[in-house]
């Protein structure tokens, strides 16, 4: 308020500034105390069982490395990585679990001062989960993610099946409805994008694809004759078939023609190999250079593989897509917190609004349970399957 007053009186000097009651407006201001409901959780901490009486001592423990901790943590993480890959879990799951296991191990060694990491301690896990909820104030979903990593560590790495973790479970309310764009907002965002980002986002919206599913598409996955797209190794290792939008066929074909021409030029100079999983490349040695295995949305540059050092092409990076989409949302002056994944939410909602049955939408999205798809019923422009208001029945 003081800044506005100074700016009004000395810079812009509007006609109303001199007559405005600045002092009376300032007197209405009330300071928010630490115990105010808006600030209470942020300003009044609740210490966990593992915290010392002196907060400074607790912080010093958390920051002070113990002897041999690096070797012990690395050994445990290595065992966990082996167990995760034997279980066939996704790469994202591997990264998440290993991150939690590493942080939990440091908590055991530094905060709790427990010797070694050779055995699983349910009480230590409980104290760590309490610490996350009370001191770190993480969301219930984040605490549950850490719990899943603890359970995997106990069962698959330490071989414990009979154990119980008694901790204060953070609870959440009902699931928040997803952010959904209107069809006009979708068009405004697309108008701010340029190819290949525009085509990529249109395909995500038109077929309900996840970001990773769209980026990892290969030429062989597109079937223009049947107007379908085959999605392989999606979330949970699942496969499904979705609709290829007829409205995009012409532009997709032109895009593929340009990529094909670039692929032939790369082949002429000894490049043009697309990255393939090691097992697949060993089974089909020539597949990497074949047109059908090329990325639909390849990156502009080739780069050496970290293991083989062979120059191969990769798909567009997800961070680049996120930056391009966020910039388009800002330029379109849309105030919603929209990401590229919002296109998938909008796809499902708009289909339900158009009268498509929910089981069909469930299959297109690849949801295992229809209850996951039902969340979109709450964000339709006509909620409740279009039931009218009683005031409109008269």
Instruction: State the DSSP H helix or E strand holding residue 240, giving kind and residue range, or none if neither.
Output: strand 240-243
| Helix H or strand E encompassing 70 | helix 69-86
Which residue out of 128, 131, 205, 376 is catalytically annotated? Answer: 376
Contacts of residues 116-121 at CB distance under 8 Å and 24 or more positions apart, as own/partner, are 116/72, 117/72, 117/73, 117/75, 117/76, 119/158, 120/153, 120/154, 120/157, 120/158, 120/160, 120/163
Active site annotation includes 2: no
Contact 202, 365 (CB under 8 A): no
User: Would you state the structure tokens that stand for residue 340, as one six-digit string?
Assistant: 């590229």
Active site residue 344: yes
CB burial string 353-381: b at 16+ within 10 A, e below: beeeebeebbebbbbeeeeebebbeebbe
Would you call 198 a catalytic residue per the annotation? no
Distances (CA, A) of 349 to 155, 179, 380, 381: 40, 10, 6, 9
Structure tokens at 372: 């996951």
Using a 10 angstrom Cβ sphere, with 0-12 exposed, 13-18 middle and 19 or more buried, the burial of residue 9 is middle
Indicate which residue of 235, 240, 262, 378 is catalytic. Answer: 235
* Catalytic residue list contains 305: no
Q: Buried b / exposed e across 19-47, counting CB within 10 Å, b at 16+?
A: eeeeeeeeeeeeeeeeeeeeeeeeeeeee
Is 156 designated active site? no
Q: Which of 216, 344, 345, 350 is catalytic?
A: 344
Question: Active-site residue 210, yes or no?
Answer: yes
Which of 61, 111, 210, 216 is an active site residue? 210
Contact 331, 192 (CB under 8 A): yes
Q: Which one of 103, 160, 341, 378 is the catalytic residue?
A: 341
Query: Which residues does 208 contact at the CB level (< 8 Å), separation at least 6?
Result: 242, 344, 347, 348, 351, 364, 365
Q: Which residues participate in catalysis according to the annotation?
A: 210, 235, 341, 344, 367, 376
């Amino acid at each position: 308020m003081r800044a506005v007053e100074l700016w009004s009186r000395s810079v812009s000097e509007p006609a109303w500034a001199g007559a405005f009651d600045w002092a009376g407006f300032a007197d209405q201001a009330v300071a928010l105390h630490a115990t105010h409901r808006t600030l209470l959780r942020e300003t009044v901490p609740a210490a966990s069982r593992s915290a010392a009486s002196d907060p400074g001592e607790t912080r010093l423990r958390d920051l002070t490395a113990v002897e041999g901790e690096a070797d012990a943590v690395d050994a445990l993480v290595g065992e966990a990585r082996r167990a995760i890959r034997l279980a066939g879990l996704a790469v994202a799951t591997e990264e998440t679990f290993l991150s939690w296991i590493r942080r939990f191990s440091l908590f055991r060694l530094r905060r709790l001062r427990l010797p070694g990491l050779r055995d699983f301690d349910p009480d230590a896990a409980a104290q760590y989960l309490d610490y996350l909820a009370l001191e770190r104030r993480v969301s219930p979903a984040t605490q549950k993610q850490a719990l899943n990593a603890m359970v995997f560590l106990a069962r698959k790495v330490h071989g414990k099946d009979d154990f119980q973790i008694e901790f204060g479970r953070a609870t959440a309310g009902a699931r928040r409805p997803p952010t959904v764009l209107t069809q006009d907002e979708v068009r405004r965002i697309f108008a701010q994008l340029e190819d290949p980002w525009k085509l990529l986002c249109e395909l995500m919206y038109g077929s309900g694809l996840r970001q990773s599913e769209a980026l990892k598409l290969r030429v062989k996955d597109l079937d223009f004759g049947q107007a379908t797209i085959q999605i392989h190794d999606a979330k949970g290792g699942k496969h499904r078939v979705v609709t290829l939008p007829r409205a995009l066929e012409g532009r997709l074909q032109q895009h593929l023609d340009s990529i094909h021409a670039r692929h032939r030029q790369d082949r002429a100079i000894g490049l043009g190999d697309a990255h393939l999983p090691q097992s697949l490349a060993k089974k089909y040695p020539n597949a990497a250079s074949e047109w059908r295995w090329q990325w639909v949305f390849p990156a502009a540059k080739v780069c050496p593989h970290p293991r083989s050092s062979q120059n191969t092409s990769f798909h567009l990076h997800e961070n680049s897509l996120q930056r391009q989409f966020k910039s388009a949302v800002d330029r379109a002056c849309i105030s919603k917190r929209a990401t590229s994944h919002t296109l998938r939410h909008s796809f499902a909602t708009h289909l339900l609004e158009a009268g498509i049955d929910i089981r069909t939408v469930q299959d297109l999205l690849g949801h295992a349970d229809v209850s996951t798809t039902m969340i979109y019923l709450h964000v339709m422009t006509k909620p409740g399957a279009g039931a009218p208001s009683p005031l409109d029945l008269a």
